[in-house]
């Protein structure tokens, strides 16, 4: 750790940059004992954390992935929907809005991580409810089969839906 600290000091002296001790954290694996980790943290002057959190909107994973890991995606989509009035838009308008906005929310994360199938299904249910114009929790009567909306007739490309397939294609 002393070598790392000395290297950082040399880099800072040469470049004119400083290491922000407020923002700098260090994470040790389970293989490193707690006393050893605390000793290394004391030398470096960094904060010891158990969870690295998020970086650029993507969770830094070091534990088992569960649906709770990506629950923030569902909350983000629901918060975006809370300001929209689905009943005022036509079916074509709702489909366009779902394709342009709702499906864009998980796209970046799908390029960096494998979303659990339960999260993909939950997002699809939210998008389907929005497209059919039914308020959250109630079931509306679909006007067309979901497969008609999710596939483009001319190209057979994914248009709106099936996030599980998009996750596989993104990685």
Per-residue pLDDT of 47-82, as tens digits, reads 888 777 777 888 877 777 888 888 999 999 888 888
Q: Bridge-partner residues for 54, per DSSP?
A: 59
d(CA 40, CA 146): 56
Q: What is the residue-wise DSSP string for 111-124? A: TTS---HHHHHHHH
pLDDT-derived band at 42, boundaries 50, 70, 90: confident
| Average pLDDT score over residue span 125-152 | 69
What is the predicted pLDDT for the residue at 162? 64
């Amino acid at each position: 750790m002393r070598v790392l600290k000395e290297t950082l000091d040399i880099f800072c002296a040469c470049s004119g940059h400083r290491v922000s001790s407020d923002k700098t954290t260090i994470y040790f694996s389970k293989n490193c004992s707690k006393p050893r980790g605390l000793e290394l943290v004391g030398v470096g002057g960094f904060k010891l954390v158990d969870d690295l959190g998020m970086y650029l909107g993507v969770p830094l994973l070091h534990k088992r992935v569960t649906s709770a890991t990506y629950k923030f995606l569902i909350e983000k989509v629901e918060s975006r929907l809370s300001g929209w009035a689905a009943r005022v838009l036509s079916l074509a308008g709702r489909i366009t809005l779902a394709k342009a906005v709702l499906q864009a929310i998980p796209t970046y994360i799908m390029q960096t991580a494998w979303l659990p199938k339960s999260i993909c299904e939950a997002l699809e249910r939210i998008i389907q409810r929005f497209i059919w114009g039914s308020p959250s929790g109630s079931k509306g009567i679909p006007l067309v089969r979901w497969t008609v909306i999710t596939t483009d007739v001319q190209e057979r490309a994914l248009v709106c839906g099936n996030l599980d397939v998009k996750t596989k294609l993104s990685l």
